[in-house]
A = this chain, B = another copy of it.
Amino acid sequence: MSGTGSTEGLAVSAATVGRLPSYLQSLVDLDSAGMATVSSDRLAELTNVNPATVRRDLSSLGISGTRGLGYDVKYVVHEISVVLGLSQDWSVMIVGAGNLGRALANYQGLTSRGFPVRAVVDVDPQLVGTEIAGIVVDGLDQLTEIIAEREISVGVIATPASEAQHVAERLVAAGLTSILNFTATSLSVPTNVQVRRVDLATELQILSFYQQRTSAARSGTGVPLETSDGDT
């Protein structure tokens, strides 16, 4: 509510969106530490990005600072929260009640971040009716009705990889436009649907690539390699 008004619909690059959670986290920390203002240089240092990028990102969201002083921490925290849609809860459905699905349903971090788990579904009739983290597991065939009834906004795919595309299609058909995919499968979805993939195997294999090069270099195989800094 309120805030700077109409930034809606303006072009905000995916790269910028990806950095907002990191800015937010650092700003919240600064606020807890009692800092009232922060310069783009300091915020850039905390988030490992270039100061000009910080200023450009904030500016593109209509968030402005004060020349000579910097940015008001509480104000920017509020504005980024609004931009990220964190002023409301988004109900989550978990598809797949295996090890991963159960771990996610029990993970308190989801609810505390404004993403309460309101449904768990699975194909296995043996699991249907059992309770996970206080939620009764429903059958996959109930998916559409449950999404409508419980006003689910985000679908989490925690099934085997082989089921992921099929499940994604079911979720999209039921009207969902936000999917968090925990399988290694790359999903094909309409352009209006957002998919984020969180895959441990992928991350480890990427680390392995660089580790391998480091080891090779160390053992004298040769050529030093260009490296880049920190996260992502």
Query: What is A's interface to B at a CB cutoff of 8 Å?
Result: 6, 8-11, 14, 17-18, 20-22, 24-26, 46-48, 83-86, 90, 99, 103, 107, 109-110, 113-115, 153-154, 161, 177-181, 184-189, 191-192, 194-217, 221-232
Contacts and interface: CB of A to CB of B under 8 A. Distances in A.
Q: So how many copies of this chain end up in the complex?
A: 2
Nearest to A113: B201
B201 A14 contact: no
A222 B9 contact: yes
Contacts of A192: 214, 227
Contacts of A187: 48, 230-231
Contacts of A185: 25
Contacts of A178: 207-208, 210-211
B115 A209 contact: no
Contact of A194 (B177, B184, B210, B216): B210
A188 B230 contact: yes
Given A223-B8, A230-B186, A232-B197, A205 B84 contact: yes
A83 B209 contact: yes
Contacts of A225: 9
A154 B109 contact: no
B200 A110 contact: yes
A201 B48 contact: no
